[in-house]
Amino acid sequence: MAFWWPLLVLALALVICKFLLMLLPSNVPSINVDASDVLDDGNQTKENSFIYIPSRRQTDKVQCYEPATMKYLGFFPALKPDEVKERVAQARKAQKIWAKSSFRQRRQFLRILLKYIIEHQDLICEISSRDTGKTMVDASLGEIMTTCEKITWLLSEGERWLKPEYRSCGRSMLHKRAKVEFYPLGVIGAIVSWNYPFHNIFNPMLAAIFSGNSIVIKVSENASWSGCFYLQIIQTALAAVGGPENLVEVITGFAETGEALVSAVDKIIFVGSPAVGRMIMRKASDTLIPVTLELGGKDAFIVCEDVDVPHVAQVAARAALQSSGQNCAGAERFYVHKDVYSSFVAEVVKIVKSVTTGPPLAGKYDMGAICMQEHSEKLQNLVTDAVDNGAEIVGRGHVGNIGEGAVDQYFPPTVIVNVNHSMELMQEEAFGPILPIMKFNSDEEVIKLANDSKYGLGCAVFSGSQRRAKQIASQLHCGVAAVNDFASTYMCQSLPFGGVKDSGFGRFAGIEGLRACCLVKSVVEDRWWPLIKTKIPKPIQYPIAENGFEFQVSLVEALYGLTVWDRLRALVHVLKILKGQNPSTNNKRRNE
């Protein structure tokens, strides 16, 4: 007992010291970012207040407007290939400087960003809301919290996972030391989607910059306005730590711009649809650069009969309706055990009927506008097809006062039952606030149903038995699984994120995502240099001796024989050959 007391006292003292250090004010400077261009001061003229643009596919500029109100926000240039290559060239020069930066400098950059984000949550969420139509709450959940968690994880563990990692040397290289070293790749390219404009920029940027790279991010034409402001935050923070200009670039444009980026960088990260992901892969094959694809999803949400139905129904509603259907890893297929099917549907309908959709900054709305033009029409087509094939709408939310002259970019949350896998709604990614609920009878059946999809991003399994939920989740073919919860994996930033099948491949976030921004180099060196060096045994030196092959056979047996006695006997033969002897048993053993 006396032995443990000093250890306990020491541990307690360390805890107290750590707590006291947390109370000390951090030495992190504040940054000022000019937000005058993105603040709605109400001084816009009547002519420019509202504008309807039939298509964003302009050839020379990207038009920006609020999906909720169609208020004009401005425009940005659609960069041509030569302009993209010039941006990448500037980022490449900056990267050569940044690659020599210390982890201390990189951590300070992250701390400055974290401080700014925490102090300006309202501004960041409002900009995200105006550009994509999501509510402030959804912006906070999906944009702020995930980004802060990633920064915190990198501050805590990032350097550890980028330091050289020592590995075992094996039996033949006992005199060596083996390690893996991680070097920056150069210029990372990212083409990101519109659904989380703040997080989708910061997520690849943080990993790229912390690992010593530069990054050029092509933002979606549906969220260029916010993306260009978020770049100002990053560049101001970099300047505060003495980082080079052009280390982080945000570019705007359409398909031509994205194709040019893929052709110019050292790695491409793409977040978007499977169709565009395939085009990215084809383009990347020209220069043979690594690709990470995070594509569509049709995540299964499984509810067993032994759950707390009201609680799980609330989670299900959040999973399907978050961010006005702008969900990342959101649930799109709901499988409910027959014994609780009716009660679960009733609970979900009650929740959905209480949800009101409207301009997110104009009042207290649970959901905002659909960001992409004409997407509400696509959602209605999926619903209509399901109803025409026997499905039934049992509950819908409300659309609030969206104002006169506003374009119809709102879709009420919708609960549909009597669905099956022959319907497009259960096969195609909806990316909208629709809850199609299907009944199942057994665990085996629901596993088969959940795996019957071309997508494989994530899943959520709910059961009163955690063991049962884990067993079901382990048999689902997807990259992300939550047991008795939804989307909690993404708040654990030590975990990789990504899918399989048409949901893509490769991983971002976590250790795997951080190291995916690196050139992974295997290094072997002498352990006791210069005392012990590798020397080629005489039987296999050039010209190879007559018994060179016999030597090799005996050496393999000495190193890898299945029993100790086999290895000892082979070692004796190796030593005899090295001494110039030619054991008579060798030929006999070879013939056997």
The tens digit of pLDDT for each residue in 54-90 reads: 555 556 899 898 888 888 898 999 999 999 999 999 9
Given this model, what pLDDT does residue 25 score? 55
Given this model, what pLDDT does residue 365 score? 87
Cα–Cα dist 165/162, whole Å? 8
Given this model, what pLDDT does residue 11 score? 75
Given this model, what pLDDT does residue 587 score? 47
Task: Judge whether residue 338 has pLDDT over 90.
Answer: yes
* Interval 170-179: pLDDT, tens: 888 888 899 9
Given this model, what pLDDT does residue 69 score? 83
Joined tokens for residue 412: 């009420």
Reduced to 3 states, what is the DSSP secondary structure of residue 41? coil
What pairing do the DSSP bridges indicate for beta strands 458-462 and 299-303?
Answer: parallel
Cα–Cα dist 553/568, whole Å? 14
Answer left, alpha or beta for residue 162, where phi above 0 means left and psi between -120 and 50 means alpha.
alpha
Task: Judge whether residue 563 has pLDDT over 60.
Answer: yes
Task: Judge whether residue 425 has pLDDT over 90.
Answer: yes
Cis peptide bond upstream of 164, omega within 30: no
Q: Using an 8 Å Cβ cutoff, are 488 and 139 in contact?
A: no
DSSP letter (8 states) at residue 490: G
Angle between helices 466-474 and 443-451 (to 10 degrees): 40
Q: Residue 160 burial (CB < 10 Å; 0-12/13-18/19+)?
A: exposed
Closest CA to 228 of 253, 203, 257, 260: 253
Query: In 113-254, where do the E strands start and end?
Result: 165-167, 176-184, 187-191, 214-218, 248-251
Of the chain, the percentage scoring pLDDT greater than 90 comes to 71
Task: Judge whether residue 23 has pLDDT over 80.
Answer: no
Q: Residue 13 burial (CB < 10 Å; 0-12/13-18/19+)?
A: exposed
Q: What is the mean pLDDT of residues 167-171?
A: 91
Joined tokens for residue 75: 């425009």
pLDDT band at residue 585, thresholds of 50, 70 and 90? Answer: very low
User: 373 or 207, which is more confident?
Assistant: 207
Given this model, what pLDDT does residue 4 score? 72
Write a three-state SS string for 319-371.
HHHHHHHCCCCCEEEEEEECCCHHHHHHHHHHHHHCCEECCCCCCCCCECCCC
Cα–Cα dist 246/231, whole Å? 11
Residues with a known catalytic role: 294
Residue 455 pairs in a beta bridge with 501
Cα–Cα dist 146/547, whole Å? 64
How many Cβ atoms from other residues are within 10 Å of residue 450's Cβ? 25
Q: What is the mean pLDDT of residues 523-531?
A: 87
Given this model, what pLDDT does residue 530 score? 81
Of the chain, the percentage scoring pLDDT greater than 70 comes to 90
Reduced to 3 states, what is the DSSP secondary structure of residue 166? strand
Cα–Cα dist 513/301, whole Å? 26
- Per the document, the length of the chain is 592
The set of residues, in sequence order, having a beta carbon less than 8 Å from that of 115 and lying 6+ positions away, is 26, 28, 30
> Which backbone phi and psi does 317 adopt, to 5 degrees?
-65, -45
Q: Using an 8 Å Cβ cutoff, are 185 and 266 in contact?
A: yes
Given this model, what pLDDT does residue 553 score? 95
pLDDT band at residue 46, thresholds of 50, 70 and 90? Answer: very low
Cα–Cα dist 272/191, whole Å? 8
Cα–Cα dist 270/200, whole Å? 10
Cα–Cα dist 513/507, whole Å? 5
Angle, alpha carbons 208-213-216 (nearest 5°): 75
Task: Judge whether residue 327 has pLDDT over 70.
Answer: no
Q: Is the dihedral of CA 8, 10, 11, 17 positive or negative?
A: positive
Task: Judge whether residue 212 has pLDDT over 60.
Answer: yes
Given this model, what pLDDT does residue 174 score? 85
End-to-end CA distance of the chain: 62
Angle, alpha carbons 206-145-16 (nearest 5°): 90
Cα–Cα dist 349/395, whole Å? 5
> Which stretch of DSSP H or E encloses residue 524?
strand 518-526
Given this model, what pLDDT does residue 410 score? 87
Among the residue ranges 77-91, 156-170, 324-338, 575-589, the one predicted with the least confidence is 575-589
Helices (H), 389-499: 443-451, 466-474
Among the residue ranges 52-61, 149-158, 428-437, 540-549, the one predicted with the least confidence is 52-61
Write out the DSSP string of 129-191.
HHHH---HHHHIIIIIIHHHHHHHHIIIIIHHHHS-EEE---STTTTEEEEEEEEE-SEEEEE
Q: How far is CA 162 from CA 212, 394, 445, in A?
A: 10, 52, 44
pLDDT band at residue 100, thresholds of 50, 70 and 90? Answer: very high
Give the alpha-carbon dihedral of 409, 415, 419, 425, to 10 degrees: 20
How confident is the prediction for the chain on average, in pLDDT? 90
Q: How far is CA 281 from CA 193, 454, 457, in A?
A: 17, 18, 19
Given this model, what pLDDT does residue 391 score? 97
Angle, alpha carbons 453-457-462 (nearest 5°): 85
Given this model, what pLDDT does residue 591 score? 45
Residue 450 half-sphere exposure, CB side, CA atoms within 13 Å?
Answer: 30
* Interval 297-317: pLDDT, tens: 999 999 999 999 999 999 999
